[in-house]
Amino acid sequence: MFLSSLEPRTARTTADVVKAVVWPLAVLTVLHRVVIKAVNGFRTDDFTPVYNAALAFLNRLPVYTANFQWVDPHYLYPPSGTLLISPIAVIDPERSRWLFIVANAVAILIALYLLLRMFGLRLDSPIAPILVLGAFASETVTNTLVFTNINGLVLLGEVAFLVLLLKRRDLWAGVMLGLTFAVKPILAPLLFLPLVRGQWKVFLTAAGVPIALNIIAWPLSVDAWDFVELTVPYLLESRDYFNSAIVGNGMYYGLPGWLVLGLRGVLAVLVAVSLWLLYRYCRNDEVFFVCTATGVLLSASFLLGSLGQMYYSMMLFPLLMTVLLPNSVMRNWPAWLAVYGFMSYDSWLSGRWVEAGRAAEYMKTTLGWSLLIIVIFAVLLDRYLAARREGRLDDGIEPSHLLPAAEDTDEVAARA
């Protein structure tokens, strides 16, 4: 029976062939990233300072003791985040780290499943193994697991927020966002979505959850105020290492301040125009609007803010999934050239061309985020100009080849 299943009597469909080929690759890639690369670790360790802070919190010892003169990973979570992650210190560090790796991997897989469902797909779709393989082969998922940080759980919070927002489950959507805020505010730009969609209840729980957790955690922490006095000023600073934001690379390469400010200003204008076009003409196409605006908002925050690290790019998965939509802004090669820049696990460091290789390695993420913003702006502006030229702005800026043919429209009107 098993052998006969390898060569069915009837011809396989293309979808069946894709699933037969890609699922084994996807499953083994997931296992390799979790069991081998993540357990081995590499280069840096985001987990140890978190574990030590959790252990100190449970033992009523100071938590915010980092020396910010060092470039090693620091503990930067607020007291609410310390409260949430404190259970990881109940067991020994090694087993705790393994469980944390598994928790992040499972969270990423659940987030990918929710993304599939958001786009009307199921696990038996050929897109499912492609999505899993692409995600776990990327730098962002690989280094999230290898460095053992919490970004996988943050991704789950982001996708759950988007799903609940689209379903108009506003209070629960805010809870999902609020839980991520309790640890790190990386998803704060997404508050733009409920703001422009008029889903005001989101703000109640998005703010209420971290406030409540901080109220609980504050008296349990012996040095909670040190987070405000020591950690917050550090978080507001820009650094010139492990920072792919424009300001970070500008500091590293010694660019003049006016040039850094000018680059940020120009890209900020492109972001603002893109968001206006999306809101003005695309907001009724809810999945397209929410996922595309999410990508614009987050890539802008990574690039234009004080700190942007390559593995933050995981939060752009909803935007990348829009390539399945006929009106996606991602259906062009420059967009995926950009994706290569901030998603690829390839290293461009070269023993033969040292300086050029180092520049390519350090700049690829910055250039990728920048190109993504430029591409989205260019696509939306081109659609706007085409619709204005053709006198159909009142009907939106959908690409003309997606609009009903004139004869079809006349036939529908005649039948009505």
Residue 388 burial (CB < 10 Å; 0-12/13-18/19+)?
exposed
- Going 350 to 351 to 353 to 355, the CA torsion angle's sign is positive
- In order, the DSSP letters of 114-180 are HHHHHTT--TTSTHHHHHHHHHHHSHHHHHHHHHT-SHHHHHHHHHHHHHHHHTT-HHHHHHHHHHH
The predicted pLDDT at position 286 comes to: 95
Close Cβ partners of 327 (under 8 Å, ≥ 6 residues apart): 285, 288, 398, 399, 402
Q: 38-47, 64-73, 298-307, 341-350 — which is least confidently predicted?
A: 64-73
- Between CA 64 and CA 77 the distance in angstroms is 9
Residue 23 has pLDDT above 60, yes or no: yes
| pLDDT at residue 188 is higher than 50 | yes
Q: What confidence score (pLDDT) does residue 406 get?
A: 43
In terms of Cβ atoms closer than 10 Å to its own Cβ (0-12, 13-18, 19+), residue 72 is exposed
Q: What's residue 16's pLDDT?
A: 87
Q: Alpha helix (H) ranges present in 283-405?
A: 286-304, 317-321, 333-343, 354-389
pLDDT at position 8 is 64
pLDDT at 415: 47
Over residues 156-182, the mean pLDDT reads: 97
The single residue listed with the structure tokens 């204008």 is 269
**C-beta of residue 53 within 8 angstroms of C-beta of residue 75:** yes
Residue-averaged pLDDT of the chain? 91
Q: How far apart are CA 377 and CA 335, in angstroms?
A: 11
DSSP string, 25-44: HHHHHHHIIIIIIIHH-BSB
Q: How many CB atoms lie within 10 A of CB 346?
A: 10
pLDDT for 75: 87
Give backbone dihedrals phi and psi of 38, rounded to 5 degrees, phi first: -70, -45
Beta carbons within 8 Å of 48's beta carbon, 6+ residues apart? 73, 93
Mean pLDDT for the stretch of residues 366-376: 97
User: Taking residues 383-408, what's their average pLDDT?
Assistant: 82
Q: What is the per-residue pLDDT for 4?
A: 61
Average pLDDT, stretch 161-176?
Answer: 97
The pLDDT, as a whole number, for residue 318 is 97
What is the Cα–Cα distance from 414 to 167, expressed in whole angstroms? 35
Residue 116 has pLDDT above 90, yes or no: yes
How much is the average pLDDT of 173-186?
96
State the Cα–Cα distance between residues 310 and 343, nearest whole angstrom: 8
- Is residue 416 pLDDT above 90, yes or no? no
Question: Is 380:288 a contact under the CB 8 Å cutoff?
Answer: no
Quick one: pLDDT at residue 6? 62
Q: Over the stretch 251-289, which tens digit does the pLDDT of each residue have?
A: 988 999 999 999 999 999 999 999 999 999 999 999 999
Cβ-proximal residues to 47 (8 Å cutoff; 6+ apart), any chain: 97, 100, 147, 148, 149
Share of residues in the chain with pLDDT > 70 (%): 94
What is residue 182's predicted lDDT score, i.e. its pLDDT?
Answer: 95
pLDDT of residue 409: 43
The model's pLDDT over 133-164, given as tens digits with 9 standing for 90+, comes to: 999 999 999 999 999 999 999 999 999 999 99
Q: Give the pLDDT score at 1.
A: 55
Q: Which of 147, 145, 102, 111 is nearest to 131 (CA)?
A: 111
Give me the pLDDT at residue 328, please: 96
State the average pLDDT over residues 6-22: 79
| Segment 299-325 mean pLDDT | 94
